[in-house]
Amino acid sequence: MKKFILVILTSICLFSCGKGDPVPSVPVNFQAPINPTYSALNSPGGYAIVNGYGVSGLILYHSQTRGIVAFDRCSSYQPEKKCAVTIDDTGLTATDPCSGSKFSLEDGTPVKAPATKSLRSYQVITTQFTIQVVN
């Protein structure tokens, strides 16, 4: 019985390893003044795309409940392909053009398979005049 329990516990440990964020961690330190380029972020549902940061660029989104949030555009489904998600016409979801996976912009969670993991999120610091995204 003890061997059976040991095998089960070992299996759980082995299968739970590597379940973290699949998108590679890269240093991000984006800072910009809140100017007309980012004015859409002044109201809930507004978003902006920032290229040149993260793995495949950033999505800045003004969440209904959380203020401004930031996600890497790299899809969490097969991240080695570095497929950049695109914002849907509704402005509520983003789609991975390689797999068809969809993600909520409110919190980055997958809302359509095959993705099962959320988009990588970053910390957002805002002041009256600037926005900064870091990890």
**Count of all residues that appear for the chain in the document:** 135
Name every residue whose Cβ is closer than 8 Å to that of residue 14 and which is 6 or more positions away in sequence: none
Please provide residue 33's backbone torsions phi and psi, each rounded to the nearest 5 degrees.
Answer: -70, 145
Q: Which two tokens stand for residue 68?
A: 């401004």
Does residue 107 contact residue 118 with C-beta atoms inside 8 Å?
yes
Does residue 85 contact residue 93 with C-beta atoms inside 8 Å?
no
Q: Find the mean pLDDT for residues 109-125.
A: 97
Is the pLDDT score of 44 beyond 70? yes
Q: What does DSSP assign to residue 24?
A: P
CA 57 to chain centroid: 10
Q: Which two tokens stand for residue 35?
A: 């100017």
Give the number of other CB atoms < 10 A from CB of residue 59. 26
pLDDT attached to residue 35: 87
pLDDT band for 23, please (50, 70, 90 cuts).
confident
* Architecture category of domain 29-134 in CATH: 3-layer Sandwich (2.102)
Nearest to 122 by CA among 76, 48, 53: 53
